[in-house]
Structure 1
Amino acid sequence: MVEVHRAIAEAARLWQDPDYPARKRAVRQTLAESNRFTEGALAFAVNQQMSLLTEDSLAAWLGTEAVANPIHVGVIEAGNVPFAGLQDYLAVVGVGHRFLGAVSRRSPWLLPAFADEVAEQGGPGSHFVDNDAVVDVSDALIASGTDETIATLESACEEADIPSLLRGNRYSVAVLDGGETEEDRLGLAEDALLHEGLGCRNVALVFAPKDLDADPYFEALSVFRGTLQAHPDTSGSLKMQQAFLAAVKAPHAYGEGLVYLVSRGEAEVQSPAHIRWVPYSELAEVSEWLAGHADEMQLIAARVAVREQLAIPVEMVDLGEAQRPPLDWKPDGVDTVAFLRGL
């Protein structure tokens, strides 16, 4: 698989240049679609993922031996964040299977354009089909989507008698202890607000000591929004929620122009870009809650000193690392490469 990894790495090297024609065209087309991607967030996602793709990193993650019996693996890409299906594409072609992609109508340009680039650099060709057809033409399926979509796909895969790796709704949380630095607070803002809070790695719940001064954390949210501006649709989606909170006199805070919203209350996930601030008295009660909801979470972001006190079987990262996943991260705790090599 050395040649394939080399082609991927060369394509990634070219795509690290924002002005590279294929990338520039795909980005322009993507921003014109009906999604909540912004130019800044899109550049962040592409740059972050391209920077990981070296021959050595691909070999370490995927191995260098091709699978003995290549099959057609269908991949249904979620369109909530930019390049959501890139890791699955890399895993499929990087171990020697044949890739059949189905892109979201919210983001139909990025992944096909990058796959074309890999092929131009000597890698395997890839094919893209309609969502409705992918199960019928695949020997195995990987898919991410809403719980309702996944339930439908699970039934379809059972009927077609093909193996599947299906991922439903997940959210992420942060746990604070008051020892966070300014850098940590800015990292938390990125974890929560990048991609308008739409990703499974976005922090939706923030557990904080009940007597913690929240103002420095809210200031960090505003600073982040000054660096990477919100999508114009975000304030509109938060307007009714903020009005309701005000009407019932629920404690909350929001950024100028409603570019984010934070409400104080029970640990209940709100809509994207609406962060729930959950006060706690003892860290043990947070740990107990997290343990009871581990199968709903993608990751926990916290300082090392906090993570050492949380024995939860969920990915744990530093504040500011949620939106910077390593190449070999395991969505929903499942090893994609192991699944593909086991087919």
Structure 2
Amino acid sequence: MTLAAKKKAFVELGKFLGQFASSGSAQKPDVLCNDPFFAGLENLIHTAQHHNGWYTPEQVFFAVQSWANALTPENLDQWLSRYDFAEKSPKTVALILAGNIPLVGFHDFLSVVISGHKALVKLSSNDQQLLPFLAKYLVAVAPKLNDFIEFTDGKLGHFDAVIATGSNNTARYFEYYFRDKPGIIRKNRNSVAVLTGKETREDLVRLGEDIFRYFGLGCRNVSKLFVPKGYDFKDFFEAMFAYGDIIHYEKYANNYDYNKAVFLMSRFNILDNGFLTIKEDTAYGSPISSVFYEYYDDLSDVTKRIETDRDQIQCIVSGVIDYSVPFGKTQQPELWDYADDVDTIKFLQEI
């Protein structure tokens, strides 16, 4: 199957996904295979929360729309034009996917299939429905893709390489278990924002998107702030009030109540606005409903700290640090924004 044919299939998937929005979904006449699939995905979006309480329709719609925006001819061409897809024998690549946010493993799946390899997918128990449904759509559009996609519930069979995502603890297991295979093993990472106190209200409101999207469960969500000494959090908290409705989600509210209680019982000094706590802490990974912060004297100190801890950081949000993601964009990566800065396509071409 040619690269052009595979790209075309994923473009059709993008068009299909583009029909779904929280403001209202509507079928378009030029989308392939709509009749057998449209109602099915709409139902999945609205029932995903039954299988995973964090997968609210709003969050799943956002994930679906994000992939609709990514899977365009222009984006695929820009992403793939830097690689030489020479004809080679396809390998089987085992994908062990996370389930913290909807379709979190789709980029790995896309990368394997578009590279000409076979994806042997082991899903997270927290995300069992969405990716198999999209894979069925792809096969309906391009039947030859059936030879490149397999899902498994049990022990992984034969495979030539592996891409596995998990916690730091499971990563140690993966590194041992897959020690004889080429692999990408992803561990815990967190994202940070570097503020100067000169941010506009619009910047800070957009920062709230980086904090609260997917309830803060993704590695691209901001969980740590670097702020100048003497920083006044008044403007920050005022901007965060745009996201106050998040407290109405029971699972989030339970985490907020629990983590706030733990902080108070431990006699930590915290700031609180009724749905978000912030705590001074040198760690990067904060609990759900909380963000850590740390003061700095000079921006150069923050730059050195981030460089030293680069293997713990996924994204940097800032208007003053090189290689930063714009405010509000952490959960809208481009196809060429690789997790952990590991070029997945390059890895797949070398196995």
Q: TM-score, normalised by structure 1?
A: 0.89
Verify: 1:77 aligned to 2:97, yes or no: yes
Q: Report the equivalent of 1:37.
A: 55
| Correspondent of 1:171 among 170, 175, 190 | 190
Q: Report the equivalent of 2:173.
A: 152
Verify: 1:317 aligned to 2:325, yes or no: yes
Question: 1:98/1:67 Cα in 2 relative to 1: closer, same or farther (>3 Å)?
Answer: farther
1:237-271 per-residue CA deviation (whole Å, 9 max, x = no partner) reads: 23232123334553323343xx3222234345321
Q: 2:281, 2:231 → 1: CA distance?
A: 14
Q: Report the equivalent of 2:155.
A: 133
Q: Report the equivalent of 1:99.
A: 119
Q: 1:224, 1:66 → 2: CA distance?
A: 48
Q: 2:108, 2:262 → 1: CA distance?
A: 40
| Correspondent of 2:287 among 266, 271, 288 | 271
Deviates more, 1:54-63 or 1:200-209: 54-63
Aligned-residue identity in percent: 28
Structure 1: 5+ residue stretches without partners: 309-314
| Correspondent of 1:187 among 193, 196, 206 | 206
Q: Report the equivalent of 2:33.
A: none
Q: 1:243, 1:120 → 2: CA distance?
A: 51
Verify: 1:86 aligned to 2:106, yes or no: yes
Q: 1:25, 1:101 → 2: CA distance?
A: 23
Deviates more, 1:18-27 or 1:58-67: 58-67
Q: Report the equivalent of 1:307.
A: 321
> Do the aligned residues in 2 keep the contact of 1:38 with 1:230 (CA within 8 Å)?
no
SS of residue matched to 1:47: helix
1:203-239 per-residue CA deviation (whole Å, 9 max, x = no partner) reads: 111011122221221122221233x666321221232
Question: 1:208/1:340 Cα in 2 relative to 1: closer, same or farther (>3 Å)?
Answer: same
Alignment of 1:231-242 (within 5 A): 231-242=249-260
Verify: 1:4 aligned to 2:6, yes or no: yes
> Do the aligned residues in 2 keep the contact of 1:67 with 1:97 (CA within 8 Å)?
no
Structure 2: 5+ residue stretches without partners: 26-37
Q: 2:344, 2:47 → 1: CA distance?
A: 29
**Structure 1 residue 180 displacement after superposition:** 0.8
Q: Report the equivalent of 1:312.
A: none
Q: 2:170, 2:6 → 1: CA distance?
A: 32
Q: 2:115, 2:233 → 1: CA distance?
A: 47
Verify: 1:222 aligned to 2:241, yes or no: yes
**What is the root-mean-square deviation in Å for CA atoms of aligned residues?**
2.0
Q: TM-score, normalised by structure 2?
A: 0.87
**Structure 1 residue 321 displacement after superposition:** 1.3
Deviates more, 1:64-73 or 1:203-212: 64-73
Aligned residue pairs, count: 328
Q: Report the equivalent of 2:308.
A: 292
